[in-house]
Structure 1
């Protein structure tokens, strides 16, 4: 068994160390001897149980092995008992494990999920605990989130989402020795309780209506039966893909995307005047008034800057969907600002990454960011009671079969 631990001597040394300004954890931390004792006592207890379960005459102790483990208390020289038969497998600190405690792994995942590179994490560990970890050791720790990520990606979803925002964001990923552009497909749903949820992580070579059809089919297979309203950008065929899977969904093209597209064609000297004029279109009280104002803009601006208004005219039926709803809903419905705010959070964390090693590396980091974000998204959407009352009056028959959270 492990030699008796002198708690009184430890207590005196620890108290003196506190007065001397020594740290509790990290390199030469005051708690390191106590943690070492607890671990070695537990391993000795494991060995006792192992020998008791086997035939005493066929197996017995056979000395100890020593290895250095890295923990939140610093580096520890840990001795592990051996048996003659070689059948004992340590459970608390398994063979070949050199990074100790879930607490330390949680800290590493937290740093990684906030955008720290492996080099930054290793430097932080060196400063805090007196040791560093290699890229391969850090990868093995961050890879432990992959099973949880896959479970999350395949989890059942709500049967109804009152709103869904869909958009793509581009990243660089290394593939076959080259750096290529990949699209991360973002899907955010708004539940009947007024809470936002990221519904999945999907990556592909480019953004296309065909792949969006695959994403939407996956959502349906995971339990989504109906989407009242979806807000998307102007990708060709997007509305068809949505209505193929969810035929009753109202598709709203993002007004902000359309505005940005128009501004690309307006010289700076005329931009302020154009912005004032286009506001009369999307801020009109009714679709009929908005269309009349758009016709007036065609007369005033169409001959000089036809491309600035072409998208408004050709996509009017999808751009004007929000007019069907009261004021409380319009600002929520007519823009993908919700998903763009989500993208800003992703960029904030991933901006230090030149290129990801793989799609899995990208998805792993995005998943950790989502877990941090969802704690902030527990609050309901602003003015939700008014919003849900208006939605219920408009979509009463479609909402009725579904359960509020």
Structure 2
């Protein structure tokens, strides 16, 4: 600490008779107000071309002060803003119509990113900083994200993504005064460097082949030319849209969802054993062995759970692509690591907000949650070198775009 700082602290302690941390806050607030006023006085001197105590031939001159309330990180306080007769003075330290110097916009967006509602944010700011921020103001602040979101949704993509996951998460959203469930479709890609990347988030449309084809065409318009493997749950129209948009792509039914949907039919006491039996299907060395294991599992449980295994037969054509790959590639496709960590961030929004006021509010929350979750995505997924090598051989020339 310099000698100058020591003297300032000593003067501060002496002037304000500081005894508590709250006294320090009040002293700093008072000093901040005085400092801003002095800086504005200096700005006025520069604007007029002469100091307050000097004479001048300038037609413009000082014209008293206007009191203004300002919000800061230390709370609210009043400042006296110098005025000039011609009203041409434009203060810079606190601009005209500026009522906040606390960088509150960033704080609001940070709280919104953590899933807080506008009411919760308003209450928190009042508790911490001592000034009122309306819910309308908070909505206006977060609306500043909309052009940024649009740019993000329209950004250029890589020409090839070896693996792409499509998943849906449902939220309660107000729509024309009625609360209804609305799906948020998340498209997650693994690029050629093995880095995860959210390609886009789409809200609300009914699932259909036309919807998915429009969405895939949008990705193609952003530069995407090819996908090797598309992994998704049984979303309506997905298979037909994949064939139309990316005819060379492998459409793989998501094994994780397939297992979850099967276990819905199973009592808790049998789920562990049933799940182990299902592993014998998708861990099989060959498709033929997988089919035999599927039939064996069906036979074993058909009397107790007659409907549980039906989807394994119905969807067998979109389950079987996994058998052509090694265990390393299979893990990329059917393990939940790639998308579950992201989904946990999205599901947290459901726990924190029972209902979103509209789809735009949901989109803002999902975008901020995505930014937060993807900060750590700087390294390739595990064993990516071996996975990429295998895909390069199996899909010759398609990774060279």
**TM-score band w.r.t. shorter chain:** 0.7 to 0.9
Return the alpha-carbon distance in structure 1 between the equivalents of residues 294 and 175 of structure 2: 46
**Helix, strand or coil for the counterpart of 1:31?**
helix
Return the alpha-carbon distance in structure 1 between the equivalents of residues 290 and 400 of structure 2: 33
Q: Is the 8 A contact 1:186 1:339 kept in 2?
A: no
Gaps of 5+ in 1: 1-6
Q: Is the 8 A contact 2:173 2:355 kept in 1?
A: yes
Partner of 2:21: 22
**Helix, strand or coil for the counterpart of 2:144?**
helix
Q: Deviations over 1:13-34 (max 9, x none)?
A: 4355797333598x51x43344
Deviation at 1:252, TM superposition (A): 0.8
Return the alpha-carbon distance in structure 2 between the equivalents of residues 387 and 14 of structure 1: 64
Structure 1 residues 145 and 247: CA distance shift in structure 2, 3 A: same
Return the alpha-carbon distance in structure 2 between the equivalents of residues 397 and 18 of structure 1: 77
Deviation at 1:278, TM superposition (A): 2.5
Return the alpha-carbon distance in structure 2 between the equivalents of residues 376 and 166 of structure 1: 21
Query: Which stretch shifts more, 225-234 or 80-89?
Result: 80-89
**Helix, strand or coil for the counterpart of 1:307?**
coil
Return the alpha-carbon distance in structure 2 between the equivalents of residues 88 and 114 of structure 1: 41
Confirm whether residue 177 of structure 1 aligns to residue 182 of structure 2. Answer: no
Confirm whether residue 36 of structure 1 aligns to residue 37 of structure 2. Answer: no
Structure 1 residues 84 and 137: CA distance shift in structure 2, 3 A: same
- Number of residues paired by the alignment? 389
Partner of 1:228: 228
Q: Is the 8 A contact 2:322 2:330 kept in 1?
A: yes
Once the two structures are superposed, the pairs formed by residues 212-223 of structure 1 within 5 Å of their partners are 212-223=212-223
Q: Deviations over 1:229-287 (max 9, x none)?
A: 11100123212212322222111101121122222333456545433432221111111
TM-score of the pair, normalised by structure 1: 0.85
Structure 1 residues 18 and 324: CA distance shift in structure 2, 3 A: farther
- CA RMSD in angstroms comes to 2.9
Confirm whether residue 112 of structure 1 aligns to residue 112 of structure 2. Answer: yes
Once the two structures are superposed, the pairs formed by residues 364-403 of structure 1 within 5 Å of their partners are 364-401=364-401
**Helix, strand or coil for the counterpart of 2:146?**
helix
Deviation at 1:89, TM superposition (A): 4.6
**Helix, strand or coil for the counterpart of 1:116?**
coil
Once the two structures are superposed, the pairs formed by residues 246-285 of structure 1 within 5 Å of their partners are 246-268=246-268, 270-285=270-285
Structure 1 residues 12 and 396: CA distance shift in structure 2, 3 A: farther
Q: Is the 8 A contact 2:207 2:237 kept in 1?
A: no
Gaps of 5+ in 2: 50-56
Confirm whether residue 95 of structure 1 aligns to residue 96 of structure 2. Answer: yes
Return the alpha-carbon distance in structure 2 between the equivalents of residues 157 and 280 of structure 1: 37
TM-score of the pair, normalised by structure 2: 0.86
Q: Deviations over 1:342-388 (max 9, x none)?
A: 22211224422121111111111111111111112223212222222
Return the alpha-carbon distance in structure 2 between the equivalents of residues 45 and 243 of structure 1: 70
Structure 1 residues 67 and 202: CA distance shift in structure 2, 3 A: same
**Helix, strand or coil for the counterpart of 1:380?**
coil
**Helix, strand or coil for the counterpart of 1:382?**
coil
Partner of 1:132: 132
**Helix, strand or coil for the counterpart of 1:35?**
helix
